[in-house]
């Protein structure tokens, strides 16, 4: 059993990894500013120096740093640099908000805190790349998004929260992606809030949520 409990004496310090435009990061920043006082965002890292997520972090006054793999001699060196940075920031939780690299088992063990990810599909269906396109190709009636703990597999970790969205006959990959993204912007901050409140309990592959009274 792995019980995540946020001590009342401090805020949950959250680090973020993002590769792209950072819209889920922006949703987290907004949630923390407007109503999640138990959470403190401590830094944003990216594997891409040009990532818009870094600009969003800087605008919000957060430490932001790029760790491009080409600057390191190996994948392990890049991940160790990330580990050291988040250790310096004393992160209690890492959030993957559109981070497009698979983390190694060494990193997951070495970083010393839980890691969660947001994925635009109802896992375990459609893990990996282009899940919206594959959902349309499969003819599903509902899709959605999932927040899950990260393990060594590709989108295989224990599921924390999910939200469904309808799939319409006229949907394109772009229109379905936009509808799912709107729900991602609500689901990810809610998962972080629940973890900060000590309401998330992992029991093997099952995650139990203590709902608000």
**pLDDT tens-digit readout, 114-141:** 999 999 999 999 999 999 999 999 999 9
191 closest CA partner among 125, 97, 87, 91:
97
pLDDT band at 36 (very low <50, low <70, confident <90, very high): confident
118-213 has the same fold as 12-113: yes
Backbone angles phi, psi at 43, to 5 degrees: 175, 155
Edge-first strand listing for the sheet containing 2-4: 2-4, 200-203, 206-209
Domain boundaries in the chain?
12-113, 118-213
Using CA atoms, how far apart are residues 69 and 45, in angstroms rounded to an integer? 12
> In this predicted structure, what is the pLDDT of residue 8?
47
Catalytic residues: 119
The hierarchical CATH code for the domain 12-113 is: 3.40.50.170
The hierarchical CATH code for the domain 118-213 is: 3.40.50.170
Question: What average pLDDT score do residues 65-74 get?
Answer: 98
Query: Model pTM?
Result: 0.94
- Three-state SS at 28: helix
204 closest CA partner among 2, 17, 49, 66:
2
**142-159: string of b/e by CB count within 10 Å (b at 16+)?**
ebbbbbbbbbeeebebbb
């Amino acid at each position: 059993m792995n019980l995540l409990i946020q001590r009342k004496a401090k805020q949950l310090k959250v680090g973020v990894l993002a590769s792209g435009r950072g819209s889920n990061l922006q949703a987290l920043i907004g949630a923390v500013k407007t109503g999640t006082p138990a959470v403190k965002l401590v830094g944003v890292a990216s594997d891409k120096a040009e990532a818009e997520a870094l600009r969003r972090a800087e605008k919000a006054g957060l430490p932001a740093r790029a760790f491009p793999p080409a600057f390191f001699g190996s994948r392990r060196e890049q991940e160790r640099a990330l580990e050291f940075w988040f250790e310096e920031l004393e992160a209690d939780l890492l959030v993957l908000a559109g981070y497009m690299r698979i983390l190694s088992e060494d990193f997951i063990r070495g970083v010393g805190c839980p890691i969660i990810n947001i994925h635009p599909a109802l896992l375990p269906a459609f893990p990996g790349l282009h899940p919206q396109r594959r959902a349309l190709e499969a003819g599903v009636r509902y899709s959605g998004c999932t927040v899950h703990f990260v393990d060594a597999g590709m989108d295989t970790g224990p599921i924390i929260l999910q939200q469904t969205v309808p799939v319409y006959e006229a949907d394109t990959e772009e229109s379905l992606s936009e509808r799912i993204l709107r729900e991602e912007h609500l689901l990810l901050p809610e998962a972080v809030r629940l973890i900060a409140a000590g309401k998330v309990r992992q029991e093997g592959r099952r995650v139990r949520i203590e709902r608000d009274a």
